[in-house]
Amino acid sequence: MHPFLLSADDLLRGGPWATRSARPVRVLLHLGAFVCVFGVLYGGVMGAFAGITGQRLLQVIYSALKVPLLLGVTFLVSLPSFFVLNTLAGVRDDFAQALRSLAATQAALTLILASLAPFTALWYASNSDYQSAILFNALMFAIASVSAQFLLKRFYRPLIRRNRNHRWLMRAWLVLFAFVGIQMGWLLRPFIGDPDAPTSFFRQDMWGNAYEYVARMIWHVVAR
């Protein structure tokens, strides 16, 4: 197997190189490369709903770029507050390792997503309903996120053993990341590409707010 894939395999098994390396910057770059390569893979498949010919090829490329963008930018936006929270909890000396653990989890998330891509392709091939395609992709993202949590817990175990504060810091990170990530996903729509709408990188009415939208939907259901 190619060394790149070999290290990906090792990452999924919770390989110690990801969090305990003498060359931290190199490891971070390596993990970033995973996110890009495997994120592009899944994104490409995700964007292929309306076909891959002519104009629609653009949607495939856009979606391929958007998945790593979604994960990377969300990561960067959430990082400063996580850094200060770590410092405040007295575990700043572990921050480098915590950062690598988080990055490794991101990389694993895209790996899992990429492994689920064939299912998405199969779904697209067997069903032409746009709404169900959205739900199916949401399900794939949910599976990948939940599975990646196990790896995060494994990477965090030595940290938690060293200092209990890491436990709630890890939870705080998940809350922060999900909070920003959901809005980022909303902002970067369309991922799948509505067959009835023209191909575009951003939606025309992109300046919406995911939470407000959901709150309104819930309110309409409740108040009906």
Binding site for another protein (CB under 8 A): 76-81, 83-85, 87-93, 160-165, 176, 179-180, 183-184, 186-187, 206-209, 211-212, 215-216, 218-220
Rounded Cα distance between 46 and 77, Å, is: 24
Between residues 20 and 23, which has the closer beta carbon with respect to another protein? 20
What is the smallest separation between the CB atom of 183 and another protein, expressed in angstroms? 6
Closest CA to 35 of 67, 81, 82, 79: 67
**SS3 state at 142:** helix
What does 154-190 look like in DSSP terms, one character per residue?
Answer: HHHHHHHHH-THHHHHHHHHHHHHHHHHHHHHHHT--
What is the smallest separation between the CB atom of 181 and another protein, expressed in angstroms? 11
What is the smallest separation between the CB atom of 5 and another protein, expressed in angstroms? 30
Between residues 91 and 103, which has the closer beta carbon with respect to another protein? 91
Between residues 56 and 203, which has the closer beta carbon with respect to another protein? 203
**SS3 state at 74:** helix
32 and 117 Cβ atoms separated by less than 8 Å = no
Rounded to the nearest 10°, the torsion over CA 96, 102, 104, 106 is: -150
Between residues 121 and 172, which has the closer beta carbon with respect to another protein? 172
- Half-sphere exposure (Cβ direction) of 180: Cα atoms closer than 13 Å: 18
Between residues 54 and 80, which has the closer beta carbon with respect to another protein? 80
What is the smallest separation between the CB atom of 18 and another protein, expressed in angstroms? 18
Between residues 143 and 174, which has the closer beta carbon with respect to another protein? 174
Q: Is the backbone of residue 90 left (phi > 0), alpha (psi -120 to 50) or beta?
A: left
What is the smallest separation between the CB atom of 112 and another protein, expressed in angstroms? 26
CB atoms within 10 A of CB 30: 20
Between residues 23 and 216, which has the closer beta carbon with respect to another protein? 216
What is the smallest separation between the CB atom of 123 and another protein, expressed in angstroms? 29
What is the smallest separation between the CB atom of 215 and another protein, expressed in angstroms? 5
Phi, psi of 39 (to 5 degrees): -65, -45
